[in-house]
Amino acid sequence: MNTATRLSGFVLGLAAVFGAAYGVGQLAGPVNVLAADHDSEGAGHGVDVRAEGDTGRAAGPVGHGEGEAGHLPGGLLVSDRGYTLVPVDAPPGEFAFRITGPDGRPVTGYDFSHDERMHLIVARRDLSGFRHVHPELAADGTWRIASPLDSPGVWRAFADFTPTGGAPLTLGVDVTVPGALTERGLPAPASSATVDGYTITLAGTPRPGHSTTLTLTVNRDGAPVTDLEPYLGAYGHLVALRRGDLAYLHVHPEGAPGDGRTAPGPQVSFATEFPSAGTYRLYLDFRHRGVVRTAEFTVRVGDPGAAAAPADEHATPGTEDGHGSPGHGHD
């Protein structure tokens, strides 16, 4: 990795109050981050982030046997089921990593999932700076892409993939970009977001441990958008990150383009299940007129007074209840 971006530490399974004791591993190379309380929703604070040491090697065991981490949300572990996310040195302005398999060798075989073999999602630990990109795989098993880490801070990088013959996995690792950081407060919960002239409204009241349908409605200049374009095999792609440990939640769209029943807008629905009460940040990627944009929402699960106001709740089978962000480039 280039000198501006050094791997300085991995935080695995942060001790949290989400009802489970997460396995914790620690990597060599401390991160010196003097940050404001992440619960603050006020103005940002000046922070200096320094990377001490330059290492990407794990100190101590981080592997988990088959099924041991099955109860955890994705992205909390750097190694799971014998697969490990390993950042590697890269030229300036590039981000590179490998996935090593149970035999310790770089994995070169991947199945397509949502139209891609690898989804790389990054976000700063204050839940700003979200990017969803798709790196290219080299013959030696190295994934490379122009670095999406575009500002100082401690970032969480998630590799979302399915190794050929294996189960889907999401591995996560912390990466520090040194420099002067302004800590950003998390926006308050709201049922609508705007991006590039589009207004997206969120309907649905998620409850921890219950399946819920969240419906997002896309409007542009006050008119419903009825010609959304497929993106990653759907009319929208939703990522949810839990505040604190940044647990990564798989969120699946309902229906698919061309199935004869799913309209290209203005509504896009997702089946969700949030594992715990807490604050989550939702990121909706959608494509219209050839451009992918991201709308962001803050949702407090288990706190109905602060969650998105439900305009139209949809019951998921087997459940009891019905249930201004700038644009980002995507690759």
Q: Residue 223 has what pLDDT?
A: 97
107 and 228 in a single domain? The answer is no
Strand partners, 91: none
Would you give the distance in Å from CA 165 to the centre of its chain? 24
199: left (phi over 0), alpha (psi -120 to 50) or beta: beta
How far is residue 84's CA from residue 78's CA, in Å, rounded to a whole number? Answer: 6
Would you give the distance in Å from CA 116 to the centre of its chain? 16
Residue 57 banded pLDDT, cuts 50, 70, 90:
very low
How far is residue 102's CA from residue 65's CA, in Å, rounded to a whole number? Answer: 10
In this structure, what are the phi and psi dihedrals at residue 179, rounded to the nearest 5 degrees?
Answer: 135, 180
Does residue 30 have a pLDDT over 50? Answer: no
156 and 244 in a single domain? The answer is no
Does residue 5 have a pLDDT over 90? Answer: no
Residue with tokens 């992918």: 292
Domain boundary pick from 182, 212, 228: 182
Q: Is residue 169 part of a domain?
A: yes
36 and 177 in a single domain? The answer is yes
- Model confidence over 258-274: pLDDT tens digits? 999 999 999 999 999 99
Q: Is residue 140 part of a domain?
A: yes
* Three-class secondary structure of residue 92 per DSSP: coil
Closest CA to 254 of 329, 167, 319, 315: 315
32 and 141 in a single domain? The answer is yes
Residue 29 neighbours by CB under 8 Å, 6+ apart: 7, 8, 9, 51, 52, 53, 54, 55
Work out the average pLDDT over 77-103. 96
Q: Is residue 90 part of a domain?
A: yes
290 and 172 in a single domain? The answer is no
Question: Can you give the pTM of this predicted structure?
Answer: 0.74
94 and 239 in a single domain? The answer is no
User: Which amino acid type is present at position 288?
Assistant: H
Residue 39 neighbours by CB under 8 Å, 6+ apart: none
Q: Is residue 4 part of a domain?
A: no
Question: Which of the pair, 192 or 24, is modelled with greater confidence?
Answer: 192
Residue 303 neighbours by CB under 8 Å, 6+ apart: 277
Q: Residue 330 has what pLDDT?
A: 53
Closest CA to 66 of 46, 51, 83: 83
160 and 201 in a single domain? The answer is no
Q: Count of residues for the chain?
A: 331
Range of the domain at 254: 192-301
Percent pLDDT > 70 in the chain is 70
Cβ–Cβ < 8 Å for 301, 206: yes
Cβ–Cβ < 8 Å for 301, 237: no
How far is residue 294's CA from residue 87's CA, in Å, rounded to a whole number? Answer: 26
Distances in whole angstroms, Cα of residue 87 to Cα of each of 6, 188, 205: 10, 34, 38
Does residue 312 have a pLDDT over 80? Answer: no
Would you give the distance in Å from CA 39 to the centre of its chain? 19
215 and 162 in a single domain? The answer is no
46 and 171 in a single domain? The answer is yes
Domain boundary pick from 160, 182, 204: 182
Work out the average pLDDT over 275-281. 95
Does residue 210 have a pLDDT over 70? Answer: yes
Q: Residue 303 has what pLDDT?
A: 64
Judged on CB neighbours under 10 Å (0-12, 13-18, 19+), 81 is buried
Q: Is residue 309 part of a domain?
A: no
Q: Which two tokens stand for residue 56?
A: 């990407």
Could you give the count of Cα atoms lying within 13 Å of 329 in the half-sphere of its Cβ?
7
**For residue 243, what is the domain's CATH number?**
2.60.40.10
- Model confidence over 90-101: pLDDT tens digits? 998 999 999 999
Cβ–Cβ < 8 Å for 175, 28: no
41 and 163 in a single domain? The answer is yes
Domain boundary pick from 141, 160, 182: 182
Residue 237 banded pLDDT, cuts 50, 70, 90:
very high
Total domains, the chain: 2
DSSP secondary structure letters along 139-187: TTSEEEEE----SSEEEEEEEEE-BTTS--EEEEEEEEE-EEEE--PPP
30 and 178 in a single domain? The answer is yes
Does residue 35 have a pLDDT over 70? Answer: no
User: Which amino acid type is present at position 38?
Assistant: H
- Model confidence over 108-131: pLDDT tens digits? 999 999 889 999 999 999 999 999
How far is residue 275's CA from residue 144's CA, in Å, rounded to a whole number? Answer: 32
